Amino acid sequence: MKNIITILLILGCIKMGNAQDASYSQFFQTPQFINPALTGSQRCATKVTAQYRNQAQAITRYSYNTMSISAEHRFEPNNDGAMFGLGMIIGNDIAGKTNYRVTQALLSASVHQPMGDHLMASIGFQGGLVQRNVDLNNMIFDRQFTGTYYDQNIHSGEDFTGTRIFHPDVSTGIVLSNVGSNPFYAGFSIFHINSPNISLIESVQAELARKYTAYLAGEVPLGSGNLNRNKAFVYHLVALFQGPFNEVNIGGGYRTETRLGENASFYLGGILKLNDIKSVNIRDAIVGVVNYESEGWGVGISIDFSTSEMAQANYGLSTFEFSFYKSFGNCREFVFCPGF
């Protein structure tokens, strides 16, 4: 029965366009997913990141998997102090028994312009190609119900034009940063500006809803010396709105130097996830995050502990996430993209 519900929900999203983008709990590891204007805002000139997320494995053997690899590079200031960023993301999201798959290849570009001693304004653009496909052989439809069971030999009654579609995707964003001793940045972005049609049914027009994202992040130094390596409290707030869906993540943690490696740092933090903030029951999950970095190499692990009604079905453990990254090149003393 759970598989049938999952299949019908996925089909409904395909027909009505009420699809929701996949997202990471460690959203700060790949800033391009949050705002294209953050491309190239990492501490070192170049960063390559791989992420993997497994969701709902405890509820059904047909889990939801999200994975991506991204890279971004910052070009150093020209005569007026402006910096430029270029980035790319290759992502793949696989959902449920129908293997509803979203594969995307995106390029990002940004400009970071100083506005004074400590302020910096950034604007970014992102564009690329997205493929969506589904396995119809694993789908079950209401017309196939005989009264006692589902017979997949009965015609579904749906007029699918194919199992695969391609569409372009365009996004943009802006960010204002403070690169002083208490760095923070605040930004706003719009994804899917072109509202592409994602329907697999010829007679149905299903425009993908635009996603609006607001993000505030920063860090407060808790010790003296180099801000990037010493003790600091790091905080993140991200709000996502896409069609009828909404999500707010409030997180923070403690970062400190450690003797477990050369130039090493350790981060321990958490995130409170809130879904459907207009309803009474808005809690979704509490996330525990651990991150270790040494000599530019970093690894992050997070676990989502469900606090919603799904907690009874998945024993409270809903999602595991892993990230791995490498930073190299010229590294700046300031941080205008607070992170680990």
Are 302 and 321 in contact by the 8 Å Cβ rule? The answer is yes
Cα–Cα distance, 61 to 39 (Å, whole number) = 36
Q: Which range is most confident: 4-13, 70-79, 156-165, 234-243?
A: 234-243
Beta bridge partners of 164: 133
CATH code, residues 2-331: 2.40.160.40
The pair phi, psi for residue 231, each rounded to 5°, is: -70, 140
**Range scoring the smallest mean pLDDT among 138-152, 232-246, 278-292:** 138-152
Which residue in 332, 115, 119, 79 sits closest to 229, CA to CA? 332
In this predicted structure, what is the pLDDT of residue 98?
Answer: 73
In this predicted structure, what is the pLDDT of residue 99?
Answer: 78
In this predicted structure, what is the pLDDT of residue 89?
Answer: 96
The residue count for the chain: 340
Block residue for tokens 């004074």: 116
DSSP readout, 13-29?
HHHH--------SSGGG
Residue 76 is given by DSSP the state: P
Using the predicted structure, report yes or no on whether residue 174 has a pLDDT greater than 50: yes
In this predicted structure, what is the pLDDT of residue 135?
Answer: 76
In this predicted structure, what is the pLDDT of residue 12?
Answer: 42
* Domain edges within the chain: 2-331
pTM above 0.75, yes or no: yes
In this predicted structure, what is the pLDDT of residue 164?
Answer: 85
Share above pLDDT 90 across residues of the chain, in percent, rounded to a whole number: 41
> What would the mean pLDDT of 19-25 be, rounded to a whole number?
81
